[in-house]
Amino acid sequence: MFNTIATAGKTIYDIAQGTSKLETKQQLMEVYDILMNLKREASELEDQNHDLKEKLRFKSDDFEFKNPFWFDKGHPDRALCPKCFSKQIVAPVAAPYDNGHGVWRRCLSCDTTIEESRPRRYDPGPDGGFGGGSGNWMR
């Protein structure tokens, strides 16, 4: 539709430039102005349509949440940044890395660091980690 309007506008403009009758030229230029307004409105409608489709996409079943990340069902191996996702931006996170205090991932878009998991803590159990459970470990 956008291209059709642009082509029609160019044709009208060319015809107006080729005529010598002032009244005809003025009428053609009025039609040309109307077409250019329609072209602008069509462009705005296309932008709005795109935005609405994106909003619907985030409300669809295309994504699933597995704490703490979102995943695109079409790419279940790619974790998405929860901060960016809340702003309706699909942004992948980097591979996990362990810094000794937990496993983390960094967003490749906003650079936010997200904790994926905490390190496991050693639990010595009721016997203090020495086995036997009797407390007589020196015998």
Q: Give the per-residue pLDDT at 22.
A: 85
φ, ψ of residue 74 to 5 degrees: the values are -75, -20
Q: Which of 55, 68, 50 is nearest to 114 (CA)?
A: 68
pLDDT tens track, the chain, 139 positions: 767 877 887 888 788 888 778 888 888 888 888 888 988 998 999 999 988 887 777 677 788 888 899 898 888 889 999 999 888 888 999 999 988 888 999 999 999 999 988 766 655 666 655 555 555 555 5
Q: How far apart are CA 74 and CA 80, in angstroms?
A: 12
The token pair that represents 98 in the structure block: 């362990």
